């Protein structure tokens, strides 16, 4: 299916949108600044996910089958026994070893972040580190060849397995003793393409090993790619018709990565320089705002409602005023099928993970229940994040899980409203500041050479001023003629204005 990738690079965050058939299918954002101005130990403040670090085992808890590892961050990372298995001397066919057989308190250990810190929890870690390339993934602590489950053609699987086995046995550029996972991007790739990808990963792994010998605990040994390069690596494929980027530096960065790893994508990369704003092309700004609402309308007039708690996310399906002339069963079936088709998309867009319970409208006929479950399964097939769906219960409930790798958009954009005593949410200061900075960039582009003034609530202005020189220098690239921030005590947190400085 033809798709487009839109990358919006702002002074406070990078936002990436995937559009299929003129409809938003997936979105993610990465902030380069955090509440209080604290960078998160990623490169230039980017996320930790995928980074490889040298940490020190702080505590070993056999009762939890886990250890806590000091990474030099605010909270220690969590290393479960199953993720530390490669550090033990036990054979691979044995059951999960005790955590005390894998690590000891006080020892240094190389780990990779497999889940960013979420809420009050530290990063989740794995000692079985991996390095992702464009076509393959290097697994240093595990030998052999594995293939993506999405590569289902037996002839292609055999071809790729043969290519990998030959390269591993005869190419000195491959990492010694390592294994590889073949990605779906390798479909129809040539042996030379795969060998080049393996050589790049081998060089990177040797650099990491050299850093390990010289580093002092704690230390970051490897930063995963930044949002622009990572999008090119993981999100651009043969179905992508174009990649639109609204920042000249980011365009150059994307093209440099394409030259190294995927030259066939060079002609797809374009600099978007107006008219208008990139995320206005397909109404993405309005849709992002809509994700803050728990309710999603369905074509027939019904709706689905998302409610997230600490334990799980509940999804309620309601037919509203819609009725099918053929009876209640058909009314319920049509609404449930519309809901099932939309739920997978909404989970991706909203970044919802963990346990999800869907309350479908009750159905009596087993074949109708089967239709709904089939549509729900189809709606998550495009999801890059692993999901699992259980059969419908007698009460019309469907339980499913979606791997939680980041905070949902609702928590990134909003926080608990104190005056509401926890019953409502308001936009966070950092979300409002990011919106204000985007408005400044937009006004500076529309009125070049004009000195601007930005008016906002005192807490927003204080937060921006606390970011220091990094943000000041970043904003100079947008508002070269000058920019002044002024606190307006009468403004609510989410209220701001930008205009010519008088």
pLDDT of residue 76: 94
| Euclidean distance between CA atoms 378 and 380, whole angstroms | 5
pLDDT tier, 445 (very low <50, low <70, confident <90, very high otherwise): confident
What pLDDT does residue 111 have?
96
DSSP result, 421-478: TTS-EEE-HHHHHHHHHHHHHHHHHHSTT--EEEEE-HHHHHHHHHTTHHHHHHHHHH
Mean pLDDT of the chain: 88
Q: What is the per-residue pLDDT across 243-301, written as a single tens digit (0 to 9) for each?
A: 999 999 999 999 999 999 899 999 999 999 888 889 988 889 888 888 888 899 999 88
- What is 76-117 written as a DSSP string? -EEEEHHHHGGGS-S-TTSPPPPGGGT--TT-EEEEEEEE--
Mean pLDDT is lowest, of 30-39, 90-99, 300-309, 383-392, for 30-39
Q: Are 396 and 362 in contact (CB under 8 A)?
A: yes
The superfamily CATH assigns to domain 428-500 is Ribonuclease E, catalytic domain (3.40.1260.20)
Q: Confirm if 52 and 66 have CB atoms less than 8 A apart.
A: no
User: Is 186:160 a contact under the CB 8 Å cutoff?
Assistant: yes
The CA distance from 347 to 355, in Å, is 12
* Banded model confidence at residue 117, pLDDT cuts 50, 70, 90: confident
**pLDDT of residue 475 exceeding 90:** no
- Who wins on pLDDT, 385 or 55? 55
3-33+224-282: what fold? Nucleotidyltransferase; domain 5 (3.30.420)
Dist. CA 289–CA 285, nearest whole Å: 6
Residue 407 binned pLDDT confidence (cut-offs 50, 70, 90): confident
Q: In what order do the strands lie in the sheet with 136-139?
A: 131-132, 136-139, 179-182, 144-147
Which residue would you say has higher pLDDT here, 292 or 307? 307
Enumerate the domain spans of the chain.
3-33+224-282, 47-126, 131-222, 291-409, 428-500
pLDDT band for 13, please (50, 70, 90 cuts).
confident
How much is the pLDDT for 140? 93
Class of domain 47-126: mainly beta
The Cα 430–Cα 38 span in angstroms is 12
Is the pLDDT at 237 greater than 70? The verdict is: yes
Q: Mean pLDDT, to the nearest integer, of 381-387?
A: 85
Whether pLDDT at 359 is above 60? yes
What CATH architecture does domain 131-222 belong to? 2-Layer Sandwich (3.30)
pLDDT band at 36 (very low <50, low <70, confident <90, very high): very low
Residues 478 and 443: their CA atoms lie apart, in Å, by: 9
The tokens describing 166, both together, are 């030959």
Q: How far apart are CA 79 and CA 175, in angstroms?
A: 25
């Amino acid at each position: 299916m033809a798709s487009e990738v839109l990358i919006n690079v702002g002074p406070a965050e990078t936002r990436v949108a995937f559009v299929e058939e003129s409809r938003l299918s997936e979105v993610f954002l990465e902030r380069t600044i955090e509440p209080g101005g604290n960078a998160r130990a990623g490169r230039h403040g980017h996320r930790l996910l995928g980074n490889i670090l040298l940490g020190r085992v702080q505590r070993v808890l056999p009762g939890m089958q886990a250890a806590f590892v000091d990474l030099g961050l605010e909270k220690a990372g969590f290393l479960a026994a199953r993720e530390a298995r490669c550090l033990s001397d036990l054979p691979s066919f044995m059951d999960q070893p005790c955590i005390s057989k894998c690590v000891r308190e006080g020892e240094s250990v190389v780990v990779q972040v497999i889940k960013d810190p979420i809420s009050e929890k530290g990063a989740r870690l794995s000692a079985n580190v991996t390095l992702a390339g464009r076509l393959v993934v290097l697994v240093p602590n595990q030998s052999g060849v594995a293939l993506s489950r999405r590569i289902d053609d037996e002839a292609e699987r055999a071809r790729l397995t043969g290519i990998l086995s030959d390269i591993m046995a005869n190419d000195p550029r491959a990492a010694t003793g390592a294994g590889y996972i073949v990605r779906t991007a390798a479909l129809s790739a040539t042996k030379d393409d795969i060998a080049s990808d393996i050589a790049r990963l081998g060089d990177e792994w040797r650099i990491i090993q050299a850093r390990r010998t010289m580093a002092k605990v704690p230390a970051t040994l490897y930063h995963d790619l930044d949002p622009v390069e990572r999008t090119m690596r993981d999100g651009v494929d043969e179905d992508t018709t174009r990649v639109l980027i609204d920042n000249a530096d980011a365009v150059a960065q994307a093209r440099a990565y394409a030259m190294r790893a995927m030259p066939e994508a060079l002609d797809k990369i374009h600099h978007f320089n107006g008219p208008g704003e990139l995320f206005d092309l397909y109404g993405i700004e309005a849709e992002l705002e809509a994700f803050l609402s728990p309710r999603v309308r369905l074509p027939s007039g019904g709706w689905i409602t998302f409610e997230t708690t600490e334990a799980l996310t509940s999804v309620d399906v309601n037919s509203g005023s819609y009725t099918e002339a053929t009876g209640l069963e058909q009314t319920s079936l049509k609404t449930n099928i519309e809901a099932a088709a939309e739920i997978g998309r909404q989970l991706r867009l909203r970044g919802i993970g963990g346990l999800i319970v869907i309350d479908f409208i009750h159905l009596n006929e087993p074949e109708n229940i089967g239709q709904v479950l089939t549509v729900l399964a189809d709606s998550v097939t495009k999801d890059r994040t692993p999901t699992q769906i259980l059969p419908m219960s007698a009460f019309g409930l469907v339980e499913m899980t979606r791997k939680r790798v980041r905070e949902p958009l609702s928590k990134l954009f909003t926080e608990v409203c104190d005056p509401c005593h926890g019953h409502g949410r308001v936009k966070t200061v950092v979300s409002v500041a990011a919106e204000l900075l985007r408005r400044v960039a937009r006004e500076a582009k529309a009125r070049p050479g004009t000195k601007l003034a930005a008016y906002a609530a005192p807490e927003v202005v204080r937060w921006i001023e606390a970011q220091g020189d990094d943000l000041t220098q970043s904003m100079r690239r947008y508002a070269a003629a000058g920019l002044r921030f002024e606190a307006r005590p009468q403004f609510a947190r989410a209220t701001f204005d930008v205009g010519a400085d008088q």
